[in-house]
């Protein structure tokens, strides 16, 4: 189930997460190798977003272990755009610039290098013309590019995204996935993404994981779409059983 070679940037071992007495994630184990585009799919309430928060240390684990070879400094996170406070009185430039901050630092100013990194991110994600605009005036697609630019300011090795295109229109969704694919191809950024956009997952993922609190499947997009794994995804007592299809 786990890939244990030196290429693994992220490894989960028997991770469980609960909210009080209510289980959200149960005994999940997998590894993500450097350079992968790893997608996590599943129904609403299957524990996908909770798992991402657990990886980041934002939600405590009940059991198990997360190993981040990149460390949190080498990891970036893009949340759902729908959960962003759009009333916050900040410009695009100010939001992207915050992406240069280091964990635990409380320095009240930004260096020349920080500003150069923010400018580069604005350019890379094609939002330089929006630098002075308040975030409350942005479309959903524009805001998602801002969040991605902020996350990538320091060019982390591992990028985690939680349903990044939730609530976006079709054109904005497609443009965002094209941008993400370019980032993966040109920068070789390792990506772990939760998504409901199954066609985009099938087109872009290196491997796909299916969750229903437990992990039901990990394998190639072809094996996932083929669906043969579904016949053996529950044991004789109706409990979800893990199926792995090697790449």
**Percent of the chain having pLDDT more than 90?**
53
pLDDT in tens, 183-198: 898 888 999 999 988 8
DSSP conformation letters of 70-102: TTGGGEEEE--GGGS-TTS--BHHHHHHGGGPP
- pLDDT score, position 239: 47
pLDDT in tens, 152-176: 998 899 999 999 888 888 888 888 8
pLDDT of residue 2 exceeding 80, the answer is no
Full-model pTM: 0.85
Q: In DSSP terms, which residues pair with 137 in a beta bridge?
A: none
- pLDDT score, position 27: 95
pLDDT of residue 5 exceeding 70, the answer is no
Give 237's pLDDT tier (boundaries 50, 70, 90): very low
Give 236's pLDDT tier (boundaries 50, 70, 90): very low
DSSP conformation letters of the chain: ----STTEEEEEEEEEEEETTEEEEEEEEEEEETT-EEEEE--TTSSHHHHHHHHHTSS--SEEEEEETTTGGGEEEE--GGGS-TTS--BHHHHHHGGGPPTT---SS--HHHHHHHHHHHHHTT-GGGTTSBGGG--HHHHHHHHHHHHTTT--SEEEEESTTTT--HHHHHHHHHHHHHHHHHH--EEEEE-S-HHHHHHH-SEEEEEESEEEEEE-HHHHHH-GGGGGSB-TTS-B--EE---
pLDDT in tens, 78-123: 988 765 666 778 999 999 999 988 765 555 678 899 999 999 999 9
- pLDDT score, position 150: 93
Q: In DSSP terms, which residues pair with 89 in a beta bridge?
A: none
Return mean pLDDT, the chain.
Answer: 86
pLDDT of residue 204 exceeding 70, the answer is yes
Average pLDDT over residues 119-141: 92
Choose the weakest-confidence range: 41-45, 104-108, 124-128.
104-108
- pLDDT score, position 119: 95
């Amino acid at each position: 189930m786990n890939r244990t070679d030196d290429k693994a940037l992220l490894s989960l071992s028997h991770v469980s997460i609960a909210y009080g007495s209510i289980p959200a994630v149960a005994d999940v184990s997998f590894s993500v190798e450097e350079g992968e585009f790893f997608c996590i799919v599943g129904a609403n309430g299957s524990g996908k977003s909770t798992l991402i928060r657990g990886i980041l240390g934002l939600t405590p684990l009940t059991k198990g272990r997360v190993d981040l070879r990149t460390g949190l400094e080498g990891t970036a996170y893009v949340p759902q755009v729908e959960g962003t406070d759009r009333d916050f009185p900040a410009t695009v430039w100010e939001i992207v610039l915050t992406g240069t901050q280091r964990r635990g630092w409380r320095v009240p100013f930004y260096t020349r290098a920080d500003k150069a990194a923010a400018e580069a991110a604005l350019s890379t994600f094609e939002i330089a013309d929006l630098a002075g605009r308040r975030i409350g005036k942005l479309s959903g697609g524009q805001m998602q590019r801002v969040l991605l630019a902020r996350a990538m300011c320091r060019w982390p090795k591992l990028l985690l995204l939680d349903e990044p295109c939730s609530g976006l229109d079709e054109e904005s969704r497609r443009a965002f996935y094209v941008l993400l694919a370019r980032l993966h191809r040109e920068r070789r950024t390792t990506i772990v993404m939760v998504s409901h956009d199954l066609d985009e997952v099938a087109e872009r993922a290196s491997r796909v994981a299916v969750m229903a609190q437990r992990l039901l499947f990990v394998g190639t997009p072809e094996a996932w779409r083929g669906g043969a794994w579904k016949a053996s995804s529950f044991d004789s007592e109706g409990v979800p059983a893990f199926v792995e299809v090697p790449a």
